Amino acid sequence: MPTQVDLPIPMRALLAGARRKQSTLLDLTRQLVWAESPSDDKAAVNACVALAAKRARDLGGRVKLHRQRGFGDLLEARFGTKPAKAADEDKGAERRILLLGHLDTVWPLGTLKAMPCRLGEGRLWGPGTLDMKAGVVMAFTAVEMLIETGLLNREIVLLLNSDEEVGSPVSRPTTERLAAECSAVYVLEPAQGLACKTTRKGVGNWRIDVTGVAAHAGVDFEKGSSALRELARAIETVSGWTDLKRGLTVSVGVAGGGTKSNVIPAAAWAEVDVRIARKADGPRIARKFAGLKPLDQSCALAVIGGINRPPMERARGTVKLYRQARALAAELGFSLEEAASGGASDGNFTAALGIATLDGLGAVGDGAHARHESILVEHLAPRTALLAGLLATCSSQGARDTLS
Ligand SMILES: [Zn+2]
């Protein structure tokens, strides 16, 4: 039977253990990378999910696959004791921890041919190494070390989804439901440089469609109303909502319209990326989009969109987790900084529920979503030991009620 653990956690011993497991860790990471898993290929993602599910079962995990229609399945694996009776459930939730990750990548099938998975220059290279297959394997390794050292003193829930890279459309409810059962969430996304992430921006997407009136640009110029000209005005307007001091950015990423140069265009469109640092800016910017009006009355605007992920604000519960992580890292001999990211992750969802969330606890490396995607091997063992230490230490009781 696992017993209550007395602090302090033997971090140096965990580090030595992680070093001994490093080659196994790299092997499994390679296997996951070889199982290419673009978000839009259900069968491919599921093959990768199956490898992870096997690993979870081998570690004695209680595995549940949440089947999906349009995307790969979600893998839920539970380790450690679960509360014996329903009456103890509240106590379980006080101590239960969610490890959150994903197995899908942005890379299409066949990427490995041009971007092979290989070790070199102190790195493991390849599609999905950093974002985030190494992070997933680090989580398995951390759990394994806790089991072997008798430090697994609570229930740990690992949730790996298959749709994170496309905004988590189907996994979000499961992520939120499982997070609500836990007192802390550790996100296995890559570190930012060497830092973990205590703040992430929220993300919104909008689309603007303009309908104008087509006409011959030479013969009937006066009869036309240019959808492109109206769109250009709208682009100028929404771009002007950017407020860097507030951490609010509005960026028109793609746009199009028109048919031929001698036709006044009857249709034009644009897709807009919005980032917010403050929750309150979500409804504010949504009202602005809803209020967009054409200057040329013969044109019509149709605007759809909304905030997809709320911002992860630097809440007290998160700061508390960060301080624990920093203290454990110091015992391991490195300093762990905190950082703010302009990008979003599934941690945005759990943080917005008021659950203490610390992000960026996965691998250290470079080039997520880029040709030079790779992890730095030297950081694997220390970061895995850190994760194990966090899972064993986490005294997140009260983290929830101190959140604003
Ligand atoms: Zn990721």
207 CA from centroid of ligand 1 (Å): 24
53 CA from centroid of ligand 1 (Å): 19
The two tokens of residue 356 are 């203490």
The two tokens of residue 266 are 């009857």
132 CA from centroid of ligand 1 (Å): 5
Q: Measured between alpha carbons, how far is residue 302 from residues 210, 286, 299 in Å?
A: 6, 14, 10
139 CA from centroid of ligand 1 (Å): 14
288 CA from centroid of ligand 1 (Å): 30
301 CA from centroid of ligand 1 (Å): 35
58 CA from centroid of ligand 1 (Å): 25
184 CA from centroid of ligand 1 (Å): 19
CA 147-386-6 angle, to 5 degrees, is 60
188 CA from centroid of ligand 1 (Å): 8
Q: What is the pLDDT at residue 401?
A: 35
Long-range pairs of 54-57 with CB within 8 A, sequence gap ≥ 24:
55/28, 55/137, 55/140, 56/140, 56/158
233 CA from centroid of ligand 1 (Å): 35
pTM of the model: 0.88
Q: What are phi and psi of 259, to 5 degrees?
A: -125, -55
336 CA from centroid of ligand 1 (Å): 20
88 Cα distance to chain centroid: 31
164 CA from centroid of ligand 1 (Å): 7
2 CA from centroid of ligand 1 (Å): 32
265 CA from centroid of ligand 1 (Å): 40
256: CB partners within 8 A, 6+ apart: 268, 269, 270
Q: What is the pLDDT at residue 396?
A: 42
402 CA from centroid of ligand 1 (Å): 28
Question: How many CA atoms lie within 13 Å of 214's alpha carbon, on the beta-carbon side?
Answer: 11
Q: What is the pLDDT at residue 91?
A: 62
320 CA from centroid of ligand 1 (Å): 23
Instruction: Please choose, from the candidates 90, 80, 317, the residue with its C-alpha nearest in 3D space to the C-alpha of residue 186.
Output: 317
> If the chain, 404 residues long, is cut into consecutive pieces of 10 residues, what is the mean pLDDT of each piece?
56 96 98 98 98 98 97 97 64 83 98 97 98 98 96 95 95 98 97 97 97 97 98 98 97 97 98 96 97 97 96 95 96 96 95 96 96 98 97 59 36
166 CA from centroid of ligand 1 (Å): 10
106 CA from centroid of ligand 1 (Å): 9
Q: What is the pLDDT at residue 8?
A: 72
Q: What is the pLDDT at residue 253?
A: 95
331 CA from centroid of ligand 1 (Å): 28
60 CA from centroid of ligand 1 (Å): 26
116 CA from centroid of ligand 1 (Å): 19
Question: What beta strand segments (E) does 152-266 contain?
Answer: 156-161, 184-187, 196-200, 202-211, 215-216, 249-257, 263-264
